[in-house]
Amino acid sequence: MKPWERTLVGIKSRCNSPSSRYFKNGIKCKITLEELKSIWFRDKGHRLENPSIDRVDSNGNYEVSNCRYIERNENASLGRVVSNCLNGHSIDNTAYIRVRKDGYIQRSCMICHRERQRKRYNCKKRLFGARSYAP
């Protein structure tokens, strides 16, 4: 299997899996195998030690104009801020994302998520006494 074929399989699995953050964020695969092959040769992917596909705009879809091949360690080190939560904290790749029963996608930063967990823990502690509730 050619490297660009493996890349396309990975892209499709990320974009089509309901448990993936790509799927939850609405990121689509709008790139074909031929386009990926042209990107591979354009960016000289065969010269890279450990090539990885990168989206220039991390909120954009997988499209020819938004994709490039770079080294995997460089791609992993790109700390990208996606957006801000309601309290103004930046939501990065480690954000808490859940889909509610009504289909609404709730995003929050880990600071706000932990604060909500702490409040729930303290409420249970007051109601039921000091039991073994882990925060």
Model pLDDT, residue 10: 93
71 Cβ neighbours under 8 A, 6+ residues apart: 48, 49, 50, 51, 52
Q: Quote the CA–CA distance of 70 and 1 in Å, as a whole number.
A: 20
Q: Where are the domains of the chain?
A: 1-79
Instruction: Per-residue pLDDT tens, the chain, 135 aa: give them.
Output: 899 999 999 999 999 998 888 888 889 999 999 999 999 999 999 999 999 999 988 888 999 999 999 988 887 766 554 566 666 666 664 566 666 677 666 666 777 777 777 776 666 556 555 555 455
One-letter amino acid identity for 85? Answer: C
pTM: 0.57
